[in-house]
Structure 1
C-alpha cells in the first residue's frame, strides 16, 4: 500500500518573540536563503535522526514554505505558524488539464563512459558553454527559455505529462491552453562536504496534460529534477 502524502503550508512566525532571529533563519540572498530553508524545513521532520528525507518543499515567498511529505510535519521548536496538513490525493485521469508551477534543478548527464552515468550538468550552462564566449551574453535569454522548455518536455515523456499547447486527440478536453514557460533562472552556491556546489534553478509555470496518471503522481511524490533537499522538485498543480 502506498504511503499517504500530506500537503502543508508552513510560515515562519512573525510575532515579536521571533523578530530578533527571523533574519538569521531566513536571510536575504538566494544562496543563503535556500540553504537556510533546507535546515528549517528539516526541523519539521527531525524526530528520527536516521530517517531519510521523505518530503519536498518550496519557498513561495520569504519565510513561507509549501511542503509535500509522507509524514505529518511537527514543529517542536515553535518556529512556524503551521497549517493543518491536508491529505494530498488528487483523482486524476488521462487527458486532465492542469495548471502547474515548478522550481527545478534541471540537469543533463555528460561524460558517460564504460556504461556509467555521466556527471549531471546544468541544462542552461551546458548549452552556453558550447557557444563561443562572444555569443553567450546575447544568447543567454533565448537559451534559458529553449533549454528549460526542452528539458521539461523530456521529463514529461518520462513522468506522464505533456506540456505541448494542444491536448492529445481523443482526450476529454479539446480546447488548447498555454504551454509551459520559464519564468526565471538563477545560479546558487550551496554548502556540501568539500567544495561548495553550484547549481542552476529554473522556475516554470503553465499548463500541462496528464498522459499517465500513475507515473505523473509518482513523479510529484518523488520530485522532478535534482537538488530536492534544497527546495527544488515540488510541482504544484491545480485544475483549470
Structure 2
C-alpha cells in the first residue's frame, strides 16, 4: 500500500481544479484524485482532506499515484504497518456516523437528537404531532417546566443561569456526544480494536449535500481523534486498508495512525 500527501499547485490548470472543488467539494475531490490512478475501473483508494483545506489530501492506495499534468505536489511512501496485539495507537479519522433503523440508514446525530426530543415531550404528556427537529425543540421549550430544566442542568453539572434555548442545545450536544462515543466504541470492537469511551474527542459535525448528476446526496460527518488498543492485528490492518464505515467516496473512512 502507498500513503501519499497530495496538494494542488498554483499553476493555471491547478487553479481550474481548485475552482471545481470550491463548487462541489468532496465529490469533485473524489473525481480529481481518481485521475491519479489511471486504468482503475473501480475506486481503489481512500482519502481525507488535511486541516479542512479543500486542496490538500492524504490518500491511501494500492497503486502508486501518478502526477498527471503536473498540477499536484505529491509525497508518497509505502505503508505496510506491522502491528501487534495490545499495541497502543493514536489515530484520527473522518466518519459518516449512521445507524440502521427499520431497514434504513439514519444519521446517528439527527436520530439521537430527535429521539431525545420525542422522549422528553412524551414524559411531559405532550403528543408532538410533528417530526421536524426545529418544531420539536420549540414544543419542548414551550412545555418544559422547572423540573425538566433542573434535570438538564444537573446532567450538565451547571449551576449558573442560562437561557432555556441555550441550555437545551448544550444538553442535546452532551447527550449526543455520549451516544456517538458508545457507537464508535462498539464500531472499534468490530474492527478488532478497543478504547475507553473517554479516549477520544469527537467534533466538527457537518451535514453535506453533494450533486451527483441529477441526484442530490446528503450525508453527515464527524472528526474523531483518540487512542486505541489493537486486539487482532491482521483484522485491524485489513480494516485500515479497506476503510471504515460509509461514504468513502466523499472523504470518509481513512484512519491515520501513529504508534504511542
In the alignment, structure 1 residue 24 sits paired with structure 2 residue 13: no
Tell me the CA shift for residue 194 of structure 1.
Answer: 4.9
Find the counterpart in structure 1 of residue 89 from structure 2.
98
Within 5 Å, which residues of 2 pair with 1:88-237? 88-111=79-102, 118-132=103-117, 133-134=136-137, 137-164=169-196, 179-192=199-212, 194-237=214-257
Q: Residue 54 of structure 1 is aligned with which of 44, 52, 55?
A: 44
Name structure 1 gaps, 5 residues minimum. Answer: 112-117, 166-177
The number of aligned residues is 211
Q: RMSD of the TM alignment (CA)?
A: 2.0
Q: 1:199 to 1:125 in 2, by over 3 A?
A: same
TM-score by length of 1: 0.81
Q: Is the 8 A contact 1:145 1:181 kept in 2?
A: no
Q: Find the counterpart in structure 2 of residue 9 from structure 1.
A: 5
Instruction: For residue 35 of structure 2, give the secondary structure of its aligned residue in structure 1.
Output: helix
Q: Match of 2:212, SS? A: coil
> Contact between 1:188 and 1:200, CA under 8 Å: does it hold in 2?
yes
Q: Distance in 1 between matches of 2:218 and 2:173?
A: 20
Max Rg structure:
2
Q: Provide, for residues 5-36 of structure 1, a one-character-per-residue CA deviation record: whole Å limited to 9, x for no partner.
A: 11111110124x357425414317xxx32222
Task: Check whether the contact 1:98–1:207 (CA below 8 A) recurs between aligned residues.
Answer: yes
Question: How far does residue 56 in structure 1 lie from its aligned partner after superposition?
Answer: 0.2
Gap runs ≥5 in structure 2: 118-135, 141-167
TM-score for both structures, normalised by structure 2: 0.75
> Which structure shows the higher helix fraction?
2
